Amino acid sequence: MNEPAPAPTPLDRLRDGVHAAVVPRSGESGGYLLPAQPLLMYGTLAVLVALTVGFTAGSIAILIHAAHLSASLAWPLGAAMAAPLVFAVRWPLSAWRVSAAGFLATVPVVGGEGFWPWPVTAFLALLVILFFVGVSVPRTTVVGVGTVTVGTLALAVLTGMPSWFAMILGALAVVTLVFGDAVGGRYSLAAIVAQQAEQLRQDLARQAVLEERARIARELHDVVAHHMSVIAMQAEAAPYKIPDLPDAARQTFGVVRDAAREALIETRRVVGLLRSDDEGAERAPQPGLDRLEELVSAARGNGAGVTSTVVGVPREVSVGVDLSAYRIVQESLSNAARYAPGSDVAVQLRYGTAALTVTVTDGGARTPPEESPGGGHGLVGMRERVSMLGGTLEAGPHGDGWRVRAELPYGDAD
């Protein structure tokens, strides 16, 4: 069972290099609403710091000279309204709360002085903060922020600000919030699509592994069935081959025979479950290295220049190693024909002291490869086979071409 996914953070890095809110957005990000590229990020931060300094200084100056407030009042009110812009990129909702508190506190202090009670620079800073809020918080929170902001404007109307001007300011605040919410929603959707695409890729990878394991299990069924059949037949024939066999030994051979038959039946039943509905039972015996020359000859007949060499003294290997080595060579030749047409391919079998090493190397495409209607899971199958035997697999570029090198321990064949 998969563990429950952690709650999504409100700002995640998207594939286009931008930090954006992820639905559902929580408001306080713990990240930055900034481009991910260092040059753009630090440049944007510098602009925001400059704007914060300018808006804050302008707000304080306007409160002192236009609203005729003392410096002891103008400084905290101007800083409360405009200075939160500097941390709105990280904590937008907190920045709006501080700024809104400053706006509310300014209304009764300034009263009916002037056309409106706030400095224009403070309102510009508020609009930028509202944009960050719209990008990063859930839509219900955006509605609440807009309601409080418009309510503050209504409070200013009671102290002398013209109602038509309050409507204009309210429309600007609402449009800014809506625009921010649209931008946040767009990047949220992009983040969800990217997440789903990654999840689909992981699911397809897991499915490919399971399919390859089922295929390997079906192939090894013939191996297991052969051995179990031999055990059953030998146990059945033992009483006839050995004269004067004690009754206890005869009963033991009977138990071995029955157990082998039962195991064979269960093995066939399990393999039947692994086989798809439209897939019939395999009738041909599983191939091995004794048919390697046939495989190489078939590849040559398709126009590939294939050479095969054997290093060391050939020895008997287990059926699993034999089958896996054949399949690895088969898949490697198939990939070479698909992705490196016209190249020379070298197949080498090296019989070591503890393992059989299979190496298939191509020299790179000599002609452009044709479009392939989807690839298989060749490397996945190779890795599963090698992992099953406790070996190692290396697959990657080699010179101008590609090389696959599999080390298959002999295991119980010793």
Mean pLDDT of 13-25: 37
100-109, 174-183, 235-244, 358-367: which has the minimum mean pLDDT?
Answer: 235-244
Instruction: Assign 351 a pLDDT band (cuts: 50, 70, 90).
Output: very high
Predicted local distance difference test score (pLDDT) of residue 349: 93
Respond yes or no on whether the N-terminal peptide bond of residue 24 is cis (omega within 30° of 0). Answer: yes
CA gap 347, 281 in Å, rounded: 31
The residue type found at 166 is A
Q: Which pLDDT belongs to residue 260?
A: 80
- The yes-or-no verdict on residue 363 having pLDDT over 60 is yes
Q: For residues 290-300, give the mean pLDDT.
A: 85
pLDDT band at 36 (very low <50, low <70, confident <90, very high): low
More confident residue, 188 or 226: 188
Q: Which pLDDT score is estimated for 279? A: 54
Look at 47-51, 273-277, 283-287 and tell me which has the smallest mean pLDDT.
273-277
Cα torsion for 184, 186, 191, 195, to the nearest 10°?
140
Q: What is the pLDDT of residue 54?
A: 93
Are the CB atoms for 99 and 80 separated by under 8 Å? yes
Please name the residues in contact with 239: beta carbons below 8 A apart, sequence gap of 6 or more.
245, 250, 253
- 357-382 in b/e form (b: 16+ CB < 10 A) is bbbbbbbbbeeeeeeeeeeebbbbbb
Predicted TM-score (pTM) of the model is: 0.51
pLDDT at position 203: 82
Structure confidence at residue 250 (pLDDT) = 79
